[in-house]
Structure 1
Amino acid sequence: MTSIGGAEMVDWNLAVATATRLVRPGPEISREEAREVVAELRRHAKASEEHVRSFTRMIPEGAHPEDTPVLVVDRAGWIKANAAGFRELLRPLLGKMQDRRPGGPGGAVLGAVGGKVTGVEVGMLLSFLASRVLGQYETFAPATRELPASADGGGRLLLVAPNIVHVERELEVDPHDFRLWVALHEETHRTQFTGVPWLRDHLQGEIQSFLDETDVDPMTLLERLREAAQSLAGGRPEGEDGEDGGRSLVELVQTPSQREILSRLTAVMSLLEGHADYVMDGVGPEVVSSVGEIREKFQQRRARGAGRLDQALRKLLGLDAKLRQYRDGERFVRAVVDEVGMDGFNRVWTSPNTLPTKAEIAKPADWIARVHRKAES
């Protein structure tokens, strides 16, 4: 982020260094086996393109939308990529917060110290997440020498090899089937954004509108980050035993206008995540023989989390909402496809106006009535 007054609100270099130092080591694996895992994930990512495009019918036959790079990374690579993405996405919000910092030498000192403190705390959160993400389509990914992105700045697909190996061992499932299953999910996200040209700009516009509406005191946000970081060190997040289970970071910065934007964003993310889950299971029986076993064990793993601390952090970071998005979005997609078929479902990608609302995600028949019956009348 461009420095204002000589210091950043977040020291991103320190965040990356902290996260890389604190992140848990990956599973024990020989160098030869690691090379084989990386090669297999790359093959599966390539094979998944045709599987997903054939199943979804989102990209017309013969069309070749601009590709995005597929990167097989370790946990440190995921940390670097996401720190760069967060830095770019949060630039307007952090700039606004920095403008509110007191002027003069005292403000500069406060900014320098605050940037270091926040850098450490953001690093702690990145280290927590880095051991849990299996794959990710980075929609807003600034290209770097180490981490290329598509030529138009549209993104890249990350597969986090050590996390995939860790989970396949934990679940005791066929590793080759599991790696392809994960690749199918992430390739669906890549197909969504390459097959729907307006989707990236629409999503970015919604996020920036949300951030533009944010009017939060920097110290309040720092305190919420501190609660999350302290919980990683064994502390109890505020409100963990309370009636609401504590507020998430997202809930902290909501105005009435933001709640409207967040409702639309929630619906879009539910659609994208649910669609990816539907596709990975729909393609699965043809190419992943053990898909039934994998899905059952993976759902059980999602549901139970990793204990009380993990559940508290998921609440604080808003990750519980993401888990609901997988479930609710998949139900929406399944219900619509069952009723109007895949081509009928694909009307959802026509324009922002045909995206489901949050209420329609819960009641797919209402979306069908609005989009299909209105179009046919």
Structure 2
Amino acid sequence: MSYEISLISILEVVLTLIIALFIGVLIPGIERKYVQARIQQRIGPPVTSPGLWASIKFLYKENIQPNSMAPGLYKAMPVLCFIVVLAIFLVLMPYNYQFMAFSSLIAIVGFLKVEEVAYVLMGSLSESVMSANLRFPDHIKGAARPDSLVSSIEDISSKRSLRMIVFGSFPLYLALFVPAALSKSIYLADIVAYQQANGPFLFTLAGIIGAVVFFVGYMIILNEYPFSYIKAKSDVIEGPYMELASKYRSFVYVTRGFLIFTLGLVFSVLFLGIPPVLFSWKFIAAVIVSLILPVIMASISAFSPIFTNKQLYPTILLVSAMGVLAIVIALF
């Protein structure tokens, strides 16, 4: 009997994963078609175009050799990011709550950090043709500043990624530990059980503040406007993604949608106590939450310019202070 239950659990996790990947590749289309296009009063692309068909299209594109000291490592980064998001997704599955070290907030934070570091590595490992041939006027003979520092597009993006790792991710990580402070446990099983017995954290003062902080951190880690600092189209274009083509670019599209959906599940588990249990109303509720968050994010992004350092630092500092306040309220 235990073997049958284990087999059923595995099949449910696999089926849930397939559904999550499918919804994930549709999320970019939902954002652009039904939110941003409506706000900007245009038709917008088909729902399946930005995520699903773009991922399939790049599978058939010709691959290129990146201008990199370690091209294999550079091309492996999107695959690593997908594996990391998959690990976070598996952490949230109730069937894995028995593995205490794996199904904890520490594990989620660790996996998210790996995903963030991947941006730094990609930016430092690549120098696209646009950057390699870029020459500043001050390098010509007789220039006033011939020794000025020249940085590639990817290098600038890599340095920005490092700054975001140092301070930009504080809001999300502080928000993750608000439920831990309320339940007095870092394990997902305890957090879910506490909410099922006492009600969702979202309906408490600390939970409301924590949810706001989580959402801001959610937008930051997804590099979405106004926090699209790492790959701003106005200066660094696609940043570390510039030389990713073919199936590696496809991994980028799939992973982004998958990460959006998975972070929505994180919110559902931590602030509502609703894990993604297939063949249950809980799964429907978790999916709805995972779709509401990107819709709100797309609505804000449609009206937002990119924050520069003058706006970015104070915003992150303020939201981080709110996260600390939420934890203090939760503890006392």
Q: Which category of TM-score, normalised to the shorter sequence, fits these structures?
A: 0.3 to 0.5
Q: Which has the higher contact order (CA 8 A, sep 6+)?
A: 2
